[in-house]
Amino acid sequence: MAQEVMAFFDGRIVPLKDANVSIATHAFNYGTGVFEGLRGYWNADTEDLYVVQPAPHFARLKRSARVLHIDLPYSVEELVDVTRKLLRANQFREDVYIRPLAYKADAAIKVGLSGISSAFAMFALPMGDYVPTAGISVAVSSWRRIADNMIPSRAKVTGAYVNAALSSDQAKADGYDEAIMLGDDGQVSEASSSNLFMVRNGVLITPPVTSDILEGVTRQIVFDLAQEFGIPTDVRPIDRTELYSADELFLCGTGVQMAGVTQVDRRPVGTGKPGPITEKIQQEYFRLVRGRSPKFRDYVSAVYHD
């Protein structure tokens, strides 16, 4: 790692400590930013850092920006390129988390979205596992997931993460590792910052994109791995009590990675241990992210040697 953590700010790579905004910034006052979370995984054998699926993450950032009328004057390819330059400037040789942000930047007291200028910034920091990846316990939250006509979950909006924080905080205070949120219709939506998959009778099932979820990049990787392994998948609404009947349950997301759930609302999931489908997909995921899966090598982008 370089002496000083560097960030991308105002079109330049500068020390993170100098990448600051005013307290009058619109996004700080009203939550009018959109963001992404990507991971880079260090592989000591190849001495390279692999960024997982950068193009799908930046494509989603652009879709999120469109929802909030945020101008993001970079193409997906340019954003991928800036990411590589930023990581190189930091000389990271460890696992990292990458946070791009596009936001309403004017110093303006004005509730609205039009006529307010936009900015883009990005920083990255070292980060390992932030939740355990096996044997986690979850609770169905009394906080409901925000609905598409309130604050769209499909867009990764900074202010919307109050919803995630309330549910996650409550779950942790009550002694669980994570929260599962139901949508306004009472059906299972997702966890506070990850998507959910359930296995019933050998079929991998996840809620549809119309269940107020963030359309996860990792969720798509799970579909691709399932197809590779010939595991049948089904996308359909999930009832709360189906979680109690599930043979297996896991969460997936860039931050959470892939985490097997062994307890839901204090009821054991399946045998009470992570199941075989969860373990199979999880194992391949952890190979893939470090560029160790030849079949999925193009799912990661090497920072130093590509």
> Which residues carry out catalysis?
156
CB of 19 to ligand PMP, least distance (A): 22
Q: Interface with ligand PMP by CB under 6 A: which range of 65-73, 87-95, 113-121, 190-198?
A: 190-198
Please return the burial class of 218, using the count of CB atoms within 10 Å of its CB with bins 0-12, 13-18 and 19+: buried
Q: Does 64 bind ligand PMP (CB under 6 A)?
A: no
Among 133, 195, 278, 282, binds ligand PMP (CB under 6 A): 195
Reference 41, options 226, 282, 287, 280; nearest CA is 287
CB of 37 to ligand PMP, least distance (A): 5
Q: Does 214 bind ligand PMP (CB under 6 A)?
A: yes
CB atoms within 10 A of CB 183: 21
Task: Decide if 184 contacts 144 (C-beta within 8 A).
Answer: yes
Instruction: Give dist(CA 300, CA 55) in Å, integer.
Output: 10
Q: Interface with ligand PMP by CB under 6 A: which range of 26-34, 103-111, 188-196, 274-282?
A: 188-196
Residue 137 C-alpha from the chain's centroid: 19
Q: Does 218 bind ligand PMP (CB under 6 A)?
A: yes
For 124, the token pair is 């990255």
Q: Does 187 bind ligand PMP (CB under 6 A)?
A: no
Instruction: Give dist(CA 38, CA 99) in Å, integer.
Output: 7
Task: Decide if 195 contacts 214 (C-beta within 8 A).
Answer: yes
Please return the burial class of 306, using the count of CB atoms within 10 Å of its CB with bins 0-12, 13-18 and 19+: exposed
Which pairing describes strands 178-182 and 136-140: parallel, antiparallel, or unpaired?
parallel
CB atoms within 10 A of CB 81: 13
Q: Interface with ligand PMP by CB under 6 A: which range of 66-74, 80-88, 193-201, 232-240?
A: 193-201
Q: Does 205 bind ligand PMP (CB under 6 A)?
A: no
Q: Does 194 bind ligand PMP (CB under 6 A)?
A: yes
Q: Does 216 bind ligand PMP (CB under 6 A)?
A: yes
Q: Does 31 bind ligand PMP (CB under 6 A)?
A: no
Classified as helix, coil or strand, 251 is strand
Q: Does 141 bind ligand PMP (CB under 6 A)?
A: no
Among 253, 260, 270, 291, binds ligand PMP (CB under 6 A): 253
Q: Does 257 bind ligand PMP (CB under 6 A)?
A: no
CB of 303 to ligand PMP, least distance (A): 19
Q: Which CB atom, from 6 or from 176, has the smaller least distance to ligand PMP?
A: 176
Reference 40, options 22, 54, 28; nearest CA is 54
Reference 141, options 114, 164, 122; nearest CA is 164
Q: Does 164 bind ligand PMP (CB under 6 A)?
A: yes
Instruction: Give dist(CA 299, CA 247) in Å, integer.
Output: 29
CB of 15 to ligand PMP, least distance (A): 27
Q: Does 193 bind ligand PMP (CB under 6 A)?
A: yes
Q: Does 211 bind ligand PMP (CB under 6 A)?
A: no
Q: Does 237 bind ligand PMP (CB under 6 A)?
A: no
Residues that bind ligand PMP in the complex, under the rule CB under 6 A: 37, 164, 190, 193-195, 214, 216-219, 253-255
